Structure 1
């Protein structure tokens, strides 16, 4: 595994970081607890030291599963990354900006973006309890909140750093304008953003600015929630409540198939899967510090971790990049 320094901090994160969205079950058609915990254990056993989660993932379940998986482990050798700023019914209900509505476990819930100082302090205490830890390595604002001044949000994280409850502060889903505004109060350690072969929008503005200002980029959805693995072109089916039924519809699948045909022989030569090749490509892109890779069982977790071992030459990277067009419909 490769380990990389995150932005302007002393945090060393594994280049492949475990993404714990799916194990929360919400929007992913449920979860299997045993498989989820085994996936985390397999990640740790194969060099992955960083785990990225959020209160929204399973409405607390993802954080609780991480806590259970880490029982008996050396906490100092694991970096826990979590978030704040998405609240739902029963948790500051109706405050902030309405984000979306969702049905989960038979309940209709309204989710809001809310990053007031009071809410951040509240959410961190709740996360610390669910995670069964006394500090968070990286706390990230999950989504921007137009109802709260950015300086209030960043000042709250400064306070948490001074208190020792978090080691570093980051943001997520921030465009260049918001990132600059946040930096006036506290330069974020990182910005977690969507980035993949199919979605390279950050390369134009965010990457140059982040590199120049030593702000780490945490890339999420590198495999586009499984689409770039190729298995959904092989009669793979999704549960009816899996959000990917709609998510995949944004892409031109014919162009996708052409890309995968180009990638397949490169992956085969490396004795790798398409997903592993895609993950490794992502770790090698300019400005990217770490790449999030979700896994719902041990087999997937091991495969993700082993992606870092793939050697891609400059010529091979160029060959791949030459095939990357606009894949959106």
Structure 2
């Protein structure tokens, strides 16, 4: 495994970081607790020292399972990354920016973006309890909240750093102008954004800005929620309540299928899976610090961890980029 310094902080994160969205269950067609905890143990056993989660993932369940999984382990060798700013329990009293309606066991829960100082502090205390720890390595604003001044949110995170409750502060889903505004109050350690072979928009402005200002980039959805594993084209069926049924419709699936068929032999020649090739490609792109990879069981976690061992030659990179250009 390769370990990388995050922005201007002292944090070193594993280049492949365990993304714990799916183990929360909501929006992913459910989950199995034992498999989820085993996936975390397998990640840790194979060099993945960093785990990224959020209170919203499973409405607290993801954080709770991580807390259970790391209990008794050397906390100093694990980096916990979590978030704040999505409120679903009504504690915001209607304040904030309405985001969408989520569903939990048949019940509709209105989700708000809410990043007031009081809410940041409240959410961190709840996350610490669920995670079973007394500090968070990287705290991230989950989504921008247009109703709260950016400086108020940044000041709250600065206070938490001073109190020792978080080691570093970052954001997620921020544009360059939003990064610029946030950095006026607090130098942001990182920005967590969507990035994949099929979604490279950040290369235009966010990557150059982050490199220039020494901010890390943590990328999510490198596999486009499983689409780039190729399994969808071989198995095809998703559960009715799986959000990916709608998500995949944004892509030209015939072109994606052809692209994957073209690059899969590159993976096969290395004795690697298509997923591992995609993860390694993502991890070596300019400006990318950490790649989040979800795993719902131990086998998937081990496969993800081993992706960094793959070597991709310049000729192979050129071939992959040539095929990518045909996607339009």
Using the size of structure 1 for normalisation, the TM-score is: 0.98
- How far apart are residue 200 of structure 1 and its match? 0.1
Over aligned residue pairs, what C-alpha RMSD do you find? 1.0
- How far apart are residue 322 of structure 1 and its match? 1.6
- How far apart are residue 326 of structure 1 and its match? 7.5
Partner residue, 2:26: 26
Distance (whole Å) between structure 2 residues aligned to residue 91 and residue 243 of structure 1: 26
Partner residue, 1:283: 283
Contact 1:198 1:326 survives alignment (8 Å): no
Partner residue, 1:76: 76
Bigger Cα displacement from structure 2, 310-319 vs 150-159: 310-319
Distance (whole Å) between structure 2 residues aligned to residue 196 and residue 67 of structure 1: 29
Do residues 110 (structure 1) and 105 (structure 2) align?
no
Distance (whole Å) between structure 1 residues aligned to residue 126 and residue 273 of structure 2: 39
Partner residue, 1:261: 261
Distance (whole Å) between structure 2 residues aligned to residue 187 and residue 317 of structure 1: 34
**CA-to-aligned-CA distance 1:10-60 (integer Å, 9 cap, x gap):** 000000000000000010011100000000000000000000000000000
Distance (whole Å) between structure 1 residues aligned to residue 229 and residue 16 of structure 2: 16
Partner residue, 2:92: 92
Distance (whole Å) between structure 2 residues aligned to residue 322 and residue 8 of structure 1: 34
- How far apart are residue 103 of structure 1 and its match? 1.3
Distance (whole Å) between structure 1 residues aligned to residue 326 and residue 223 of structure 2: 16
Secondary structure of the 2:39 match is helix
Partner residue, 2:162: 162
- How far apart are residue 327 of structure 1 and its match? 4.8
Distance (whole Å) between structure 1 residues aligned to residue 32 and residue 93 of structure 2: 29
Partner residue, 2:45: 45
Partner residue, 1:153: 153
Contact 1:251 1:327 survives alignment (8 Å): no
Give the aligned length: 328
Mark the CA change 1:311 to 1:24 in structure 2 (over 3 Å): closer, same or farther. same
Partner residue, 1:139: 139
> Any residues of structure 2 matched to 1:1-329 within 5 Å, and which?
1-325=1-325, 327=327
Distance (whole Å) between structure 2 residues aligned to residue 300 and residue 200 of structure 1: 25
Secondary structure of the 2:325 match is coil
- How far apart are residue 94 of structure 1 and its match? 2.1
Distance (whole Å) between structure 1 residues aligned to residue 5 and residue 211 of structure 2: 13
Distance (whole Å) between structure 1 residues aligned to residue 277 and residue 176 of structure 2: 29
Secondary structure of the 2:323 match is coil
- How far apart are residue 237 of structure 1 and its match? 1.6
- How far apart are residue 93 of structure 1 and its match? 4.3
Distance (whole Å) between structure 2 residues aligned to residue 313 and residue 112 of structure 1: 45
| 5+ long unaligned stretches in structure 2 | none
Distance (whole Å) between structure 2 residues aligned to residue 327 and residue 224 of structure 1: 15
Distance (whole Å) between structure 2 residues aligned to residue 169 and residue 105 of structure 1: 33
Distance (whole Å) between structure 2 residues aligned to residue 56 and residue 162 of structure 1: 25
Bigger Cα displacement from structure 2, 87-96 vs 248-257: 87-96
Distance (whole Å) between structure 2 residues aligned to residue 141 and residue 103 of structure 1: 22
Q: Which aligned runs of 4 or more in structure 1 are off by greater than 2 angstroms?
A: 325-328
Distance (whole Å) between structure 2 residues aligned to residue 103 and residue 84 of structure 1: 19
- How far apart are residue 235 of structure 1 and its match? 2.4
**CA-to-aligned-CA distance 1:112-166 (integer Å, 9 cap, x gap):** 0000000000000000000010000000000000000101110100000000000
Distance (whole Å) between structure 2 residues aligned to residue 318 and residue 158 of structure 1: 43
- How far apart are residue 76 of structure 1 and its match? 0.4
**CA-to-aligned-CA distance 1:199-251 (integer Å, 9 cap, x gap):** 00000000000001110000100000000000000123211111101000000
Secondary structure of the 1:316 match is helix
